[in-house]
């Protein structure tokens, strides 16, 4: 590998053009489908016929994960409507977590390190959250862009500032996920290349143990980052839902 960024290259596996739309099958699309497939197969297997009467350890873990996200949603939203949004938050959290973990498998592909995937998630959820607010409050949703008690003279300036801040929400949400995953994978690739160069040089074979130990440590850190980024994404999604529901 000449560059640590080569691992993020999108490769077309099957070219297909429909009119002006390119619907080619790429490695990124394959890994997105693989992530969804893995989640579907594992979850349906664990809860076949409603689950086991005496749950297995895997079923217990999966139920704990669901309860964790459910508790997060109820804590953040804190309203009687919170239950209806547990499904979308849990699905988003589980997809990001699974994609992050699959991306850590050697020689695999990190889909969440693709800006289009990260933005696809953030913008689609942002549009959905905005529609929830509009359908729930109607034109009153516009009051979200004018803080209560603000002077009338500053209203035009505050509305512009709040509108820009609101529009940048999905951008920051997607960039945060993309940047953290990309940075971690790039660092792993750089140190791995350095360790390989030392291991293939007879004078530095013993010293190559040092970068290998560093790789193991960083890999453990990346596992934590995989969980953390999924958690942060879910928390921010809950906050945006709360704003749309309560107009805070």
SS3 (DSSP) at 83: helix
Q: What is the pLDDT of residue 171?
A: 92
Average per-residue pLDDT for the chain = 82
* pLDDT tier at 133, thresholds 50, 70, 90: confident
Residue that wins the pLDDT comparison between 20 and 244: 244
Residue 171 covered by a domain = yes
Per-residue pLDDT at 83 exceeds 90: no
Please write the tens of the pLDDT for every residue from 4-59. 677 777 777 777 777 777 777 888 888 888 999 888 888 777 766 555 566 677 77
CB neighbour list of residue 45: distance below 8 Å, 6 or more residues apart: none
Tokens 């850590």 correspond to what residue? 104
Looking up tokens 């530095």, which residue turns up? 204
Position 121 scores a pLDDT of: 92
Q: Is residue 3 part of a domain?
A: no
Q: Which residue has the higher pLDDT, 97 or 215?
A: 97
**pLDDT tens readout for residues 146-183:** 766 666 776 677 778 888 888 899 999 999 999 888 88
Decide if 20 is inside a domain.
Answer: no
pLDDT of residue 80: 73
In angstroms, what CA-CA distances link 64 with 130, 140, 166? Answer: 30, 38, 33
Residue 178 domain flag: yes
Q: How confident is the model at residue 233 (pLDDT cuts 50, 70, 90)?
A: very high
The number of distinct structural domains making up the chain is 1
Torsion of CA 211, 216, 222, 223, to 10 degrees: 180
In a domain, 6, yes or no: no
Residues facing residue 14 across a β-bridge:
25
Average pLDDT, integer, range 138-150: 74
Q: What pLDDT, on a 0 to 100 scale, did the predictor assign at position 190?
A: 83
The answer, yes or no, to whether residue 225 has pLDDT greater than 70, is yes
pLDDT at 145 over 80: no
Residue 86 has pLDDT above 90, yes or no: no
% of the chain exceeding 70 in pLDDT? 88
The span from the CA of 120 to the CA of 36, in Å, is 15
Between CA 167 and CA 144 the distance in angstroms is 13
pLDDT tens-digit readout, 104-125: 888 888 899 888 899 999 999 9
H/E segment holding residue 13: strand 12-14
pLDDT of residue 202: 63
* 157 within domain boundaries: yes
Rounded average pLDDT over 224-239: 91
pLDDT interval class at 60 (50, 70, 90): confident
Domain containing 37 equals 28-246
Q: How far apart are CA 142 and CA 158, in angstroms?
A: 12
Is residue 88 a part of any domain in this protein? yes
pLDDT at 203 over 80: no
* pLDDT top residue among 145 and 75: 75
In a domain, 2, yes or no: no
């Amino acid at each position: 590998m000449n560059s640590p960024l080569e691992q993020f290259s999108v490769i077309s596996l099957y070219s297909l053009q429909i009119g002006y739309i390119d619907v080619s099958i790429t490695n990124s699309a394959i890994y997105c489908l693989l992530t969804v497939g893995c989640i579907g197969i594992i979850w349906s297997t664990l809860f076949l016929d409603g689950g086991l009467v005496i749950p297995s350890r895997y079923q217990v873990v999966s139920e704990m994960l669901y309860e964790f996200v459910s508790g997060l949603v109820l804590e953040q939203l804190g309203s009687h409507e919170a239950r209806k949004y547990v499904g979308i938050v849990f699905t988003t959290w589980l997809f990001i977590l699974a994609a992050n973990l699959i991306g850590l498998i050697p020689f695999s592909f990190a889909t969440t390190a693709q800006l289009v995937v990260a933005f696809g998630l953030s913008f689609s959820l942002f549009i959905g959250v905005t529609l929830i607010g509009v359908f729930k409050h109607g034109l009153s949703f516009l009051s979200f862009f004018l803080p209560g008690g603000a002077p009338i003279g500053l209203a035009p300036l505050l509305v512009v500032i709040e509108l820009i801040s609101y529009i940048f929400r999905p951008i920051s949400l997607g960039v945060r996920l993309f940047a953290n995953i990309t940075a971690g994978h790039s660092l792993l690739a750089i140190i791995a290349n350095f360790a390989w160069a030392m291991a293939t040089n007879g004078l530095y074979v013993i010293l190559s143990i040092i970068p290998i130990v560093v790789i193991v440590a960083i890999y453990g850190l990346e596992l934590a980052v995989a969980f953390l980024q999924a958690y942060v994404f879910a928390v921010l999604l809950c906050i945006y839902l709360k704003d749309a529901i309560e107009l805070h």
